[in-house]
Amino acid sequence: MYDADGREETVMQQDTRDTRLTYDDFLLFPDDGLRHEIIDGEHYVTPSPNRGHQVLVGRLHFEIELFLRANPGIGQVFLSPFDVVFSKWDVVEPDLLFVAADQEDILTEKNVQGAPALVVEIGSPGTRRRDEQIKRQLFDRGGVREYWIVDPDADVVRVFRRQPDGSLVAIAELAREAALTTPLLPGLEIRLNELFAP
């Protein structure tokens, strides 16, 4: 290409390829006992959970599963690892998730293709920023109806719930003396002093 005076101009071509990681890349990650996730094409790795984490997620799963058995037809609860694919650039493995009966079409044998009704993460100092900011933003834009962050260091559960305006906002920070409830599972009551019991 030449300018008005006949001198040759150099034109820089901008590389417009999307270099973010995708679900195809996710499938190639090693089965190494770590939790691998992709959020907006960025790879996040979390160490294997500790005993306290497993106790909490086990107790929550037990309470919700027991409730669902007594109230069939409401939905299904799943433990990690079970991939949740929001988009080809967003694949996470929540500690616990609930898929309501009205959204069972998002369930496949391999993964969940879309936003579960409820997502639960057991927090830790190493995942706090990711859980409270990066994942919360993903769950907000992805359409999750409710998100719980269980904080074993403070013995609290932070509840984020979708509002009529469509936003996922913090509605409560529940301490040990409180009971955890949700309109997604009417009648379920999880007493936090039992959840956080030694």
| pLDDT confidence of residue 13 | 54
Domain assignment present for residue 24? The answer is no
Q: Is the pLDDT of residue 189 over 70?
A: yes
Domain assignment present for residue 159? The answer is yes
Domain assignment present for residue 136? The answer is yes
* Two structure tokens written together for 80: 């990690």
Cβ proximity of 121 and 131 under 8 Å = yes
Residues 25 and 184: their CA atoms lie apart, in Å, by 34
Q: Is the pLDDT of residue 1 over 50?
A: no
- Work out the number of other CB atoms within 10 angstroms of the CB of residue 37: 22
* 109: containing domain: 49-195
Residues 6+ apart with CB under 8 A from 123: 131, 132, 149, 150, 151, 152, 153
Domain assignment present for residue 14? The answer is no
Nearest to 115 by CA among 124, 105, 125: 105
Domain assignment present for residue 5? The answer is no
**23: Cα separation from own chain's centroid:** 16
| pLDDT confidence of residue 124 | 86
Residues 121 and 89: their CA atoms lie apart, in Å, by 20
Cβ proximity of 103 and 129 under 8 Å = no
Domain assignment present for residue 168? The answer is yes
Domain assignment present for residue 177? The answer is yes
Residues 130 and 198: their CA atoms lie apart, in Å, by 26
Positive or negative: CA dihedral 166, 170, 175, 177 = negative
Cβ proximity of 177 and 196 under 8 Å = no
Q: How many residues does the chain have?
A: 198
Give the tens place of pLDDT for each residue, 134-174.
Answer: 999 999 999 999 999 999 999 999 999 999 999 999 999 99
Cβ proximity of 54 and 82 under 8 Å = no
Beta strand ranges found along the chain (DSSP E): 35-39, 42-46, 75-79, 84-87, 90-92, 96-100, 112-113, 118-122, 146-151, 156-162, 168-174, 179-180, 190-191
Segment (H or E) for 148:
strand 146-151
Give the tens place of pLDDT for each residue, 4-60.
Answer: 555 555 545 555 678 899 999 999 999 898 899 999 999 999 988 899 999 999 999
Domain assignment present for residue 19? The answer is no
* Two structure tokens written together for 52: 């306290």
* Two structure tokens written together for 156: 């609290």
Give the tens place of pLDDT for each residue, 71-119.
Answer: 999 999 999 999 999 999 999 999 999 999 999 999 999 999 999 999 9
Structurally, the chain folds into a number of domains equal to 1
Q: What is the CATH number of the domain that holds 80?
A: 3.90.1570.10
Give the tens place of pLDDT for each residue, 166-178.
Answer: 999 999 999 999 9
| pLDDT confidence of residue 73 | 96
| pLDDT confidence of residue 125 | 81
| pLDDT confidence of residue 8 | 54
